[in-house]
Chain A
Amino acid sequence: NAGVMQNPRHLVRRRGQEARLRCSPMKGHSHVYWYRQLPEEGLKFMVYLQKENIIDESGMPKERFSAEFPKEGPSILRIQQVVRGDSAAYFCASSRNRDYQYEQYFGPGTRLTVT
Chain B
Amino acid sequence: AQTVTQSQPEMSVQEAETVTLSCTYDTSESNYYLFWYKQPPSRQMILVIRQEAYKQQNATENRFSVNFQKAAKSFSLKISDSQLGDTAMYFCAFTSNTGNQFYFGTGTSLTVIP
Contacts and interface: CB of A to CB of B under 8 A. Distances in A.
Do A and B assemble together?
yes
Given A42-B105, A102-B33, A102-B95, A108 B100 contact: no
Interface in B51-84: none
Interface residues of B, number: 20
B22 to A, nearest CB: 15
B106 A108 contact: no
Interface of A is mostly: strand
A109 B4 CA distance: 22
A69 interface: no
A70 interface: no
Contacts of B33: 102
Interface stretch (A16-24, A43-51, A76-84): A43-51
Interface of B is mostly: loop
A106 B100 contact: no
B44 A108 contact: yes
B99 interface: yes
B101 interface: yes
Given A89-B43, A102-B95, A33 B101 contact: yes
B104 interface: yes
A45 B96 CA distance: 14
Contact of A41 (B43, B95, B100, B106): B106
Contacts of B42: 108
B91 interface: yes
Contacts of B103: 45
18 contacts: A33-B100, A33-B101, A41-B107, A42-B4, A42-B105, A43-B91, A43-B104, A45-B100, A45-B102, A45-B103, A48-B100, A55-B100, A56-B100, A101-B100, A102-B33, A102-B97, A104-B95, A109-B45
